[in-house]
Structure 1
């Protein structure tokens, strides 16, 4: 069986399909989202093209295992609409941060609603699908299989959803990177990790100072300047974990339903508490 969508945006994409499709047909179509069924998969110019291995079906006059051509496309927004939406997205730091960390903000649809459109599909009118199989129902199980596969692809690459709506991912990243926060996150995401620098000690060492030739007894015992009345508290180490966050909540190797980033954050927190307890 194909993998169900894990992210909220992938699940909502499937939910839109389920709203106007028979559940039994969708369940049969889900089995067509696997590598065993999909012989060819291509995303080009905001459109998915796939070749699906079908079944022998004498009822439809199919006596030899066929290969069907399937295409799935979402309605594209106009350049003017995208220009307005991008301008609104780049005005909010929370949107910039989540998008550049491969996550779609849950309230992103509010920005699209202000322009009178939406990012995720919410009815059959948002889908443009085709399949050359003899099944007259739309969507057929082959189209459903491609949609399930596409929802899984959205989990791995949220920017693919923007591409399906007619906006090149490179264009979105370029616009987000124009802001100061976007530039920092974009550079960290696309750049190489900083190499390890060898050090002589893991602890702060005192800096030796030259003693004066002569010193009064008062200065020897009391010092030349008064000691500070308080010591500034040490700040906890901040680990950006950019390498972990690059893969998003569900990287390719992660098979669990829970977020990989959430699991790693909990792991680092417990490790930190354990280290501090033993200091």
Structure 2
């Protein structure tokens, strides 16, 4: 037997407020389209929410995507924003390193809201002003705010809600590059085993193991320790490893919270959908050997919380994992 388990889940707004705030700041740029383009913007937002943007790609200085709209040749959209120069980024690192709270949040894997003002003061803005973005589309509409541009802009905001550090990438720095620069500026040494605090909880227990009361709770950033320790040997880019850690931690927490078989089934379903890239409830049910109605219900539930995208209706409904 084991000791009692009392998982506690923090409110969603506490866990996701920062990411949502950055996404909202990005989406607010759409208001600059003005009344003349308001209808196009609304149509583009609807297209994005239906999963109509493919191949969204965020890179330093540009965002690209394709909007099909049932066409054989999709419209190609690019949002361009010149990245700050090296001097500006050097000043940004110094400014951030001087702000203990901002640095702590970044090292903990969060992009704090107050970083916007700190960075803007040295010429590195993370959210564009209305005239900053150059917008191009291969459609024939003579406006910079066609529905396809609005769709890609909206899809980018949805991506920023999932990972606000993509805003840093757009401005010319990956999360890992910024963290390395901050550590170098502050003279921080990598964390070692001697630095870990093991003086509480389970490690301080002196009774029988069955008497230990477990009160697990999800952490803000499961990959933070890996980033604190530095790059693993032979790994040039730790970000894919961090993502795997985050997914493993999410699944582990849901299992601990009692979701058990449902969480495991969902993970298998998402893995199969990613392997297919695009799939129907029927094709995924066949691949997994599960009841098609159960799979469809689970996919629709994942769509409602934004985990998967959905297009079409009825038997032609298709799902895609972003």
Q: What TM-score range do you get, normalising by the shorter chain?
A: 0.5 to 0.7
Q: Output the CA distance in 2 between the equivalents of 1:256 and 1:45.
A: 29
TM-score using structure 2 length: 0.52
1:202-250 CA-partner distances (Å, limit 9, x unpaired): 489xxxxxxxxxxxxxxxxxxxxxxxxxxxxxxxx997835568669xx
- 2:294 maps to which residue? none
- 1:19 maps to which residue? 32
Q: Is the 8 A contact 1:10 1:152 kept in 2?
A: yes
User: Is residue 2:138 matched to residue 1:132?
Assistant: yes
Q: Is the 8 A contact 2:33 2:145 kept in 1?
A: no
- 1:82 maps to which residue? 89
Say which is worse superposed, 11-20 or 237-246, in terms of deviation: 237-246
- 1:227 maps to which residue? none
User: Is residue 2:154 matched to residue 1:118?
Assistant: no
Q: Which residues of structure 1 form unaligned runs of 5+?
A: 56-63, 189-195, 205-236, 258-279
Q: 1:91 to 1:146 in 2, by over 3 A?
A: same
Say which is worse superposed, 151-160 or 112-121, in terms of deviation: 112-121
Q: 1:100 to 1:201 in 2, by over 3 A?
A: same
- 1:211 maps to which residue? none
Q: 1:49 to 1:129 in 2, by over 3 A?
A: same
Following superposition of structure 1 onto structure 2, how do residues 31-70 of structure 1 map, counting pairs within 5 Å?
A: 31-34=46-49, 36-54=51-69, 65-70=72-77
Q: Is the 8 A contact 1:16 1:121 kept in 2?
A: yes
- 2:177 maps to which residue? 171
Q: Is the 8 A contact 1:102 1:157 kept in 2?
A: no
Q: Is the 8 A contact 1:100 1:182 kept in 2?
A: no
Q: 1:75 to 1:45 in 2, by over 3 A?
A: closer
Q: 1:91 to 1:199 in 2, by over 3 A?
A: same
- 2:219 maps to which residue? 241
Q: Is the 8 A contact 1:109 1:118 kept in 2?
A: yes
The two structures, once aligned, show a CA RMSD in angstroms of 4.0
- 1:214 maps to which residue? none
Q: Output the CA distance in 1 between the equivalents of 2:31 and 2:109.
A: 26
Q: 1:199 to 1:131 in 2, by over 3 A?
A: farther
- 2:113 maps to which residue? 106
Q: 1:80 to 1:69 in 2, by over 3 A?
A: same
- 1:210 maps to which residue? none
DSSP 3-state at the match of 2:208 = coil
Q: Is the 8 A contact 1:96 1:182 kept in 2?
A: no
Q: 1:111 to 1:141 in 2, by over 3 A?
A: same
Following superposition of structure 1 onto structure 2, how do residues 242-257 of structure 1 map, counting pairs within 5 Å?
A: none
Kindly indicate which of the two structures has a greater share of residues assigned to helix: 2
**Number of aligned positions between the proteins:** 201
DSSP 3-state at the match of 1:177 = helix
Q: CA deviation at 1:154?
A: 1.0
Q: 1:245 to 1:80 in 2, by over 3 A?
A: same
Q: 1:155 to 1:177 in 2, by over 3 A?
A: farther
- 2:240 maps to which residue? none
DSSP 3-state at the match of 1:90 = helix
- 1:9 maps to which residue? 22
Q: Is the 8 A contact 2:66 2:77 kept in 1?
A: yes
